[in-house]
Amino acid sequence: MHIAMIGTGYVGLVSGACIADFGHQVTCVDKDATKIEALKNGEIPIFEPGLQDLVSRNVREGRLSFATDLNEPVRAADAVFIAVGTPSRRGDGHADLSYVYNAAREIAAAMHGFTVVITKSTVPVGTGDEVERIIRERNPDGDCVVVSNPEFLREGAAIHDFKHPDRIVVGTDDDRAKQVMAEIYRPLSLNQTPLLYTARRTAELIKYAANAFLATKITFINEIADLCERVGADVQEVARGIGLDNRIGNKFLHAGPGFGGSCFPKDVRALIKTAQDYDVPLRILEAVTSVNDTRKRAMARKVSMMFSDGIRRKTIGVLGLTFKPSTDDMREAPSIPLITALQDMGALVRAFDPVGMTHARSILPDVTFCDNAYECATSADVLVIATEWEQFRALDLRRLHDLMATPVIVDLRNIYRPDEMHRRGFAYVSVGRPTASPALGDPEAFDRLSSADKGRAAALVS
């Protein structure tokens, strides 16, 4: 089957390469000439584990190619995917659908013969109707069906997720389109992946409802974490205790600095706006957004509370900048409001991220970017773990302890154990768990805290 993928970003490139790997003939199209030039030269413009190999192999075997102009690929295609961005519209939180509608106009002019146009971008209910209207208006004689096929992959595990999805949602009631969709995804249905056929509007809503539910689950456990801190309970044990209940499940119950990334924040906002337009306010989601937005900056207070005299002119090392590990995506990363708030409080921020620093440099001014975690920790008054990259899970704690001006760690991802950090002589604060302080274990480390901070550290554990 011939496929054109319009939009070659995190979703389009992964989907295009995986569909080529299924055996189809795929052209990935993007308006960004630099991106396409890089891909033609064998370079992958994003960081996604395994993508380099997958793309190279499918290019080499002649199933995957790249173009800036969609005319030829769309003309030859049996199916055209729209995988362009749908960011928040400036000012009001609605999804900005201009990229989707522009792509629809261009597809309408180029398509030839029966063509299935598939919206893979996350789009509000009713967008498929509008895409269909645009195509019919532009090309009244065209033979085309518009299908919704939302994508559920996670950055950092995108190839695995695309090839082993829990389900494939296909929104159409057209039999010819169903046949084309079944053919595209045949290797997955052979592996027993359920293809869930629904009405187009239902498919569009499934995607938003899924993301909104997961964002709610994260926000719920974050609030429970705050309560744990007050009452002396451990949120990880609470999460385990409730997650073992099959009705609840153990995923998305990790307390942290609040959700970010390229999808959850914008999708929750867009769903709230859609619901308001239909006069069905979604109050739970309104609370989720507001709690989450407040939380990210509040994490800076967690840092400043470690020092009795605040953090003005203190050096803060931040480990991890991307919104989660194994991606270079900085979109709405919690590290951004955290660092901005720390700077607003007068702190000097140093930072290190294994792959996110190229993007981070253009977003975060006045940050000193370091080459590794230890350089970031050098002379720092406090080290904040903002993203749980694998390489931060097994840091040389003795070395860290020696390098820092004061051995204070704020672990926003709960990747270390409070009792161990305590034993190693760190003042250690995490999210929703007991606090540890060096007041007991390591007199030398404790001596390096100011007298006020000694009192504070002792108070933290008492």
Ligand X SMILES: NC(=O)c1ccc[n+]([C@@H]2O[C@H](COP(=O)([O-])OP(=O)(O)OC[C@H]3O[C@@H](n4cnc5c(N)ncnc54)[C@H](O)[C@@H]3O)[C@@H](O)[C@H]2O)c1
Site for ligand X in 411-430 (CB under 6 A): none
What six digits make up the tokens of 169?
A: 């949602």
Residue with smaller CB distance to ligand X, 323 or 352: 323
27 is a site residue for ligand X (CB under 6 A):
no
Alpha-carbon distance 291 to 374, whole Å?
33
Q: How many CA atoms lie within 13 A of 185 on its CB side?
A: 26
Residue with smaller CB distance to ligand X, 10 or 22: 10
48 is a site residue for ligand X (CB under 6 A):
no
115: left (phi over 0), alpha (psi -120 to 50) or beta: beta
Residue with smaller CB distance to ligand X, 208 or 352: 208
Interface with ligand X (CB under 6 A), residue from 110, 170, 188, 263? 263
CA dihedral 46, 47, 49, 51 (to 10 degrees): 20
Interface with ligand X (CB under 6 A), residue from 6, 20, 134, 384? 6
103 is a site residue for ligand X (CB under 6 A):
yes
Interface with ligand X (CB under 6 A), residue from 7, 73, 265, 434? 7
Residue range at the interface with ligand X (CB under 6 A); choices 82-90, 240-248, 345-353, 374-382 = 82-90
Interaction mask 112-151, ligand X, x per CB under 6 A = ---------xx----------------------------x
CA dihedral 114, 117, 118, 123 (to 10 degrees): -160
- The angle at the Cα of 101, spanning 100 to 107, to the nearest 5 degrees, equals 90
163 is a site residue for ligand X (CB under 6 A):
no
263 is catalytic: yes
Residue with smaller CB distance to ligand X, 39 or 415: 39
Question: Which of 144, 263, 370, 376 is the catalytic position?
Answer: 263
69 is a site residue for ligand X (CB under 6 A):
no
Give the nearest distance from C-beta 210 to ligand X in angstroms: 10
12 is a site residue for ligand X (CB under 6 A):
yes
Alpha-carbon distance 115 to 145, whole Å?
7
E strand or H helix that includes residue 25: strand 25-29
Q: Please list the residues that pair with 95 across neighbouring strands.
A: 88
Interface with ligand X (CB under 6 A), residue from 58, 86, 315, 437? 86
Q: Answer yes or no: are the C-beta atoms of 284 and 216 closer than 8 Å.
A: yes
Q: How many CA atoms lie within 13 A of 101 on its CB side?
A: 12
Alpha-carbon distance 454 to 150, whole Å?
53
Give the nearest distance from C-beta 421 to ligand X in angstroms: 33
Residue with smaller CB distance to ligand X, 134 or 449: 134
Interface with ligand X (CB under 6 A), residue from 58, 262, 315, 430? 262
Give the nearest distance from C-beta 269 to ligand X in angstroms: 12
Strands (E), 334-433: 348-352, 368-369, 382-385, 408-411, 427-429
84 is a site residue for ligand X (CB under 6 A):
yes
Alpha-carbon distance 450 to 428, whole Å?
16
Alpha-carbon distance 410 to 425, whole Å?
14
Residue with smaller CB distance to ligand X, 156 or 434: 156
- Binding-site ranges for ligand X (CB under 6 A): 6-12, 29-32, 35, 83-86, 99, 102-103, 106, 121-122, 151, 153, 155, 262-263
Active site residues: 263
